[in-house]
Structures are given as structure tokens and as C-alpha cells.
């Protein structure tokens, strides 16, 4: 069942939808800020941890592949990898078949973070889901999945060459 176009909504319904989108953005920012506070004692930020997790899940990926996976530019990804390499958490090795390409791997020095970060994540969950029932959290999860899928579909429909007016 398709939803009616937005201009068919009374002003209140449109305002609620706009405010909900703003709240999603606001909660995302607050999650990042709080997580950064929780893990600051370990000398890592949420952005760095996210990058480490992408590398952990894609051992041997190229810098370009990681940039695409993380949805960031190659230069920004390169700077992030530089910081992680300086800390000894990752290493970049030449590709055996093409020495111009460097592949990225985690180092054993990152292991203590793999053990302590889940504790910080649990604390974040406790704080941000406080006052919500398991059913509400599951409904939120399902709703966000639908919204994510709708967003992906909208991006694929519009593409970079089409205008939205």
C-alpha cells in the first residue's frame, strides 16, 4: 500500500514527519558524542572504532575499498588510516600482485580494545534505551530498517543525474 504524496498531508502530519527526521539526526549525533566520551580513556573515537571494525571485517581490503564501504572519500579514509597506523592498530602492506596497491590489516595491538569497547557499547544501550520496553525497541529497529531500505531505494531511483523537484 503506497503512502499518499506529502502535499496531501495536513500541516501537522508534515511537521511530525519533519521533526522525526530531525530527531533521528539528533539522536545519531548524541550517540556519537556519548560513545566518544565512553571510549576516550582508550584514545579512540567512534569514527576510528568504526574504521577498525570495517577493517576487522574486511582484512586485506584496499584503502579504496574501505573508503567505499565507509562512504567516505579516499583522502579522508587515508588520513583516518594514517592515524590508526601511527597508533599501531593497523598496517598497510603491498599487494603481492600489484605493488601500487596497499592492503589494510589490523594489528594485535588493537585486541584490548576489542575486549573493552563492548562494555562501552552496553553502557550506551542502557542509557539510550532507558524507559523503552523490549517491544518498543524491536518496533524501532523494524521501523529504522524500513526507513533505511526506503532511503536506499530513493537514492537508486533518483541517481546523481536526476533532479528532485
SS (H, E, C) the chain: CCCCCHHHCCHHHHHHHHHHHHHHHHHHHHHHHHHHHHHHHHCCCHHHHHHHHHHHHCCCEEHHHHHHHCCCCHHHHHHHHHHHHHCCCEEEEECCCCCCCEEEEECHHHHHHHHHHHHHHHHHHHHHCCCCCHHHHHHHHHHHHHHHHHHHHHHHHHCCCCCCC
Q: Are 113 and 90 in contact (CB under 8 A)?
A: no
Band (5; pLDDT cuts 50, 70, 90): low
pLDDT greater than 70 at residue 162? no
pLDDT greater than 60 at residue 1? no
pLDDT greater than 60 at residue 154? yes
Q: Are 59 and 105 in contact (CB under 8 A)?
A: yes
Which long-range contacts (C-beta less than 8 Å, at least 24 apart) are formed by 50-54?
Answer: 51/77, 51/80, 51/81, 51/84, 52/84, 52/89, 52/90, 52/106, 52/110, 52/113
Res 8: pLDDT: 65
Task: Tell me the pTM.
Answer: 0.70
Res 7: pLDDT: 66
Q: Averaged over 119-127, what is the pLDDT?
A: 94
pLDDT greater than 60 at residue 164? no
Using CA atoms, how far apart are residues 155 and 42, in angstroms rounded to an integer? Answer: 37
Amino acid at each position: 500500500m503506497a503512502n499518499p504524496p506529502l502535499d496531501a498531508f495536513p500541516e501537522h502530519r508534515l511537521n511530525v514527519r519533519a521533526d522525526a527526521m530531525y530527531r533521528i539526526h539528533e539522536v545519531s549525533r548524541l550517540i556519537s558524542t556519548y560513545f566518544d566520551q565512553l571510549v576516550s580513556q582508550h584514545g579512540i573515537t567512534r569514527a576510528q572504532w568504526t574504521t577498525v571494525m570495517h577493517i576487522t571485517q574486511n582484512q586485506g581490503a584496499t584503502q579504496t575499498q574501505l573508503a567505499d564501504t565507509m562512504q567516505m572519500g579516499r583522502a579522508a579514509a587515508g588520513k583516518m588510516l594514517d592515524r590508526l597506523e601511527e597508533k599501531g592498530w593497523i598496517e598497510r602492506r603491498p599487494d603481492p600482485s600489484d605493488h601500487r596497491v596497499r592492503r589494510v590489516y589490523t594489528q594485535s595491538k588493537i585486541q584490548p580494545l576489542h575486549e573493552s569497547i563492548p562494555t562501552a557499547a552496553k553502557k550506551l544501550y542502557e542509557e539510550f534505551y532507558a524507559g523503552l520496553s523490549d517491544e518498543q525497541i524491536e518496533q524501532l529497529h523494524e521501523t529504522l530498517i524500513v526507513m533505511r531500505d526506503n532511503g536506499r531505494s530513493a537514492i537508486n531511483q533518483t541517481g546523481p543525474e536526476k533532479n528532485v523537484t
